[in-house]
Structures are given as C-alpha cells and as structure tokens.
A and B are shown apart, each in its own frame.
Chain A
Amino acid sequence: DQQVKQNSPSLSVQEGRISILNCDYTNSMFDYFLWYKKYPAEGPTFLISISSIKDKNEDGRFTVFLNKSAKHLSLHIVPSQPGDSAVYFCAASAYGQNFVFGPGTRLSVLP
C-alpha cells in the first residue's frame, strides 16, 4: 500500500517554462511534507517543506502548494533551468513518525 504517490515517473519541460511535479497521499494523519532533489550518484538533498497549517510555501524559484482536502501537493519550479534536471521525491510524515517517500519523478529540463 503506497501512502505517497507520484504518478508521473518522468516529466520534460522546456527551459524557462514552469515545471509542475505532483504528489498525492492517502494518510490523513500526514502533517509535514518535504521535497527532495536527487542527482545521479548523489544522495537526495532537501529542497523545500510545508506543514499542514499552510497551503503554500515559497523559496526562490520553488513553490510548494498543499491541498489538504484533496490530499495533494505540488512543486512548482519557475523558471525551469537545465540544472533542475534531477529526480524529485515527495516525502510525508505524521508527527513523531518517520518520513514516507514517494517513488520519485524524473524531471528533464530541455535547453
């Protein structure tokens, strides 16, 4: 039973355009969400987070939106750059519990 789903295994976007990566979850107890980025041969690195008391969090070109009623969050990257090409993991946790990761979405930003 996959509690965190990223239904798009891959996504291609033109440089300068918006990238939208989606994540759905099933556990209504999840109250903290993170996005990680992973380059080949490297470990995942933290990108941005959002807690359930917010519906939006912004950090530079990266914005995460949370829709609790739909159990859905999305990561927007504007404008997309070739260096953003990586695998993006969505992760969720309930207070005091460990993070559950989604399967990842491979983003390719085309020059």
Chain B
Amino acid sequence: DSGVTQTPKHLITATGQRVTLRCSPRSGDLSVYWYQQSLDQGLQFLIHYYNGEERAKGNILERFSAQQFPDLHSELNLSSLELGDSALYFCASSVDRAGTGELFFGEGSRLTVL
C-alpha cells in the first residue's frame, strides 16, 4: 500500500461526457502528479501540483484540467471525452517539489470511453 488513494478504480462513460478522478496523496506529501497510461504505452506526464499551485504541465489536453485543494487532495477533470481518452490514469505523490525524490503511485483509475 503506497498510501496514495485514487477513486474511482473503474469508470465507464460515453463520448462527449465529463468525469472527475480524485486523488488523495500520502500523508505529508505536498506534490501530486497525474500520469496517463494508454494501452501498452508508458506513463505520460500530465500535470504536477505542489502545495496547491500548478508546477508543471506535460502532455495535457485542453479538455483536461486539474487542481489541488487546500487539504492537498487533487482532482483531474476530463471533459468532452473521446474514445482515445480511454486509459489508466495514475496519481502519484512525493514530499518534495520535483525531480529529486521517489514518487509513490496510487493504483490508478481505469477510464473506458464507449
């Protein structure tokens, strides 16, 4: 158990819809990262928040947005969903700002867009 909690574990929805994925980081971790893993692909970095502020953006579509709340949990919002958005979405947390420490991953949220 990494200490990172993601909900929901599985989600099936239709094209054009909007979903919200939630992540609670490990206790004490200030950084939250979101990654997307499509079928047989690596982990694509989407976005990073540190203590409520956006730190870095990766390959995140404009239809996607995220935020980190004062209690440090984070939400990833995916809108106008397309078939290609079907993927595993991982949240990870770390204690530091970026690039210097281990990331702890949640179990992921599997999104299926039909």
* Interface of A toward B, CB cutoff 8 Å: 4, 6, 9, 32, 34, 36, 41-46, 49, 89, 91, 93-104
- B44: chain A residues at CB < 8 Å are 101
Write out the residue numbers on chain B whose beta carbons fall within 8 Å of the beta carbon of A43. Answer: 2, 4, 90, 92, 105-108
Evaluate contact between B42 and A89: CB separation under 8 angstroms.
yes
Give bound CA distance, A94 to B56, whole Å: 14
> Does B64 have its Cβ within 8 Å of any Cβ on chain A?
no
Interface size grouping (class) on chain B: 20 to 34
Contact A44 B99 (CB under 8 A): no
Interface of chain A: mostly helix, strand, loop or mixed: loop
A103 to B105 alpha-carbon distance, docked (Å): 17
- Tell me whether B41 and A103 are in contact (CB under 8 A): yes
Known: A95-B100, A96-B99. A44 touches B90 (CB 8 A): yes
Given A43-B105, A95-B99, A96-B98, A101 and B43 touching (CB < 8 A)? yes
Measured between C-beta atoms, what is the minimum distance from A21 to chain B in Å?
14
- The complex places the Cα of A44 from the Cα of B105 at a distance, in Å, of 6
